[in-house]
Amino acid sequence: MKPRGRRATAGLLILLAGLAVALPLGLVACWNDLPATQAGGPVIVAGTVLEAATGEPLTGVVIRGPRRTRTVSDDRGRFRLTGLHIGESGELTADRHDGFAGVLPFSALAAGVREVAFHLRQSNPDQAPPDQGERR
């Protein structure tokens, strides 16, 4: 029985040595698979700005978020607002020089890309854009 006990002890030591190597590797693998909310990844708001009446994309709309983050919509009405963090909340505002404007509530509950759509109305369609010509 003594030889069998030595083999069992040696087998147990090999098993423990294997666990000592495998366990930390497994923990690293699990840590890397954590959801982005726990890993603290970036928060990005991406979206489209559309004219509410026609559904046409609006270009040149300034989108602002918490902590003075801002971006501008492209010729397809698309935008990406970066620099946001989990836990931030407030409003996303969108406005353009010719009176199109809108507001959406915002809360960054999770990391990743959040897709939104602004459907903007012109506050006063007869209002001419502000004069940006002559300086005095």
pLDDT at 41: 81
d(CA 25, CA 134): 67
pLDDT band at 12 (very low <50, low <70, confident <90, very high): very low
Residue ranges of E strands in 41-88: 43-51, 62-64, 70-72, 78-84
Q: Model confidence over 38-47: pLDDT tens digits?
A: 456 899 999 9
Could you give the percent of the chain with pLDDT greater than 70? Answer: 61
Give the contacts of 122 (CB within 8 A, at least 6 positions apart): 51, 98, 99, 100
**DSSP characters for 92-106?**
EEEE-TTSEEEEEEE
pTM attached to this predicted model:
0.62
Regarding beta strands 70-72 and 78-84, do their DSSP bridges make them parallel or antiparallel, or are they unpaired? unpaired
Residue with tokens 């983050």: 69
Q: Model confidence over 22-71: pLDDT tens digits?
A: 334 333 333 333 344 445 689 999 999 999 999 999 999 999 999 999 99
CATH no. for 37-122? 2.60.40.1120
Q: Where are the domains of the chain?
A: 2-33, 37-122
Could you give the percent of the chain with pLDDT greater than 90? Answer: 56
